[in-house]
């Protein structure tokens, strides 16, 4: 005969074996939460607070790398002076960093 016999498993696996098989999955989720999800949520909260706190004469960097001074703040748009007499309008979400006062001197 070329086909081997198939036997049923014993009923001794019980609930403890099933619960113990989920333990590594639960531990992986806990580690994922503390290493990836929680820091990302913190960063998003800081970014939102920074965008809400934008005011006139703040010095900022946009996502495109432009440095400038805020001249007007709208609900969803910000006007930035990148050179003397040159202003651009960008979305608030494009502002990535708020610089300390006096960082940009030649505007």
For residue range 22-69, list pLDDT tens digits in order: 899 999 999 999 999 999 999 999 999 999 999 999 999 999 999 999
pLDDT higher than 90, residue 95: yes
The answer to the question of residue 9 being in a domain is no
Q: Are residues 91 and 59 in the same domain?
A: yes
The answer to the question of residue 104 being in a domain is no
Segments forming the whole domain that contains residue 70: 55-99
Record the pTM.
Answer: 0.64
Q: Are residues 67 and 93 in the same domain?
A: yes
CA angle (95, 97, 99) in 5-degree steps: 120
The answer to the question of residue 87 being in a domain is yes
Cβ–Cβ under 8 Å, residues 104 and 68: yes
pLDDT higher than 60, residue 106: no
The answer to the question of residue 68 being in a domain is yes
Q: Are residues 41 and 62 in the same domain?
A: no
CATH of the domain at 74: 2.30.30
The answer to the question of residue 2 being in a domain is no
């Amino acid at each position: 005969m070329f086909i081997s016999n198939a036997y049923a498993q014993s009923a001794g696996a019980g609930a403890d074996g099933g619960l113990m098989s989920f333990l590594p999955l639960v531990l992986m989720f806990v580690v994922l939460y503390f290493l990836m999800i929680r820091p990302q949520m913190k960063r998003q909260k800081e970014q939102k607070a920074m965008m809400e706190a934008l005011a006139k004469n703040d010095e900022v960097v946009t996502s495109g790398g432009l440095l400038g001074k805020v001249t007007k703040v709208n609900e969803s748009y910000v006007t930035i002076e990148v050179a003397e007499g040159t202003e651009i309008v960008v979305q608030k979400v494009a502002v990535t960093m708020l610089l300390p006062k006096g960082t940009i001197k030649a505007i």
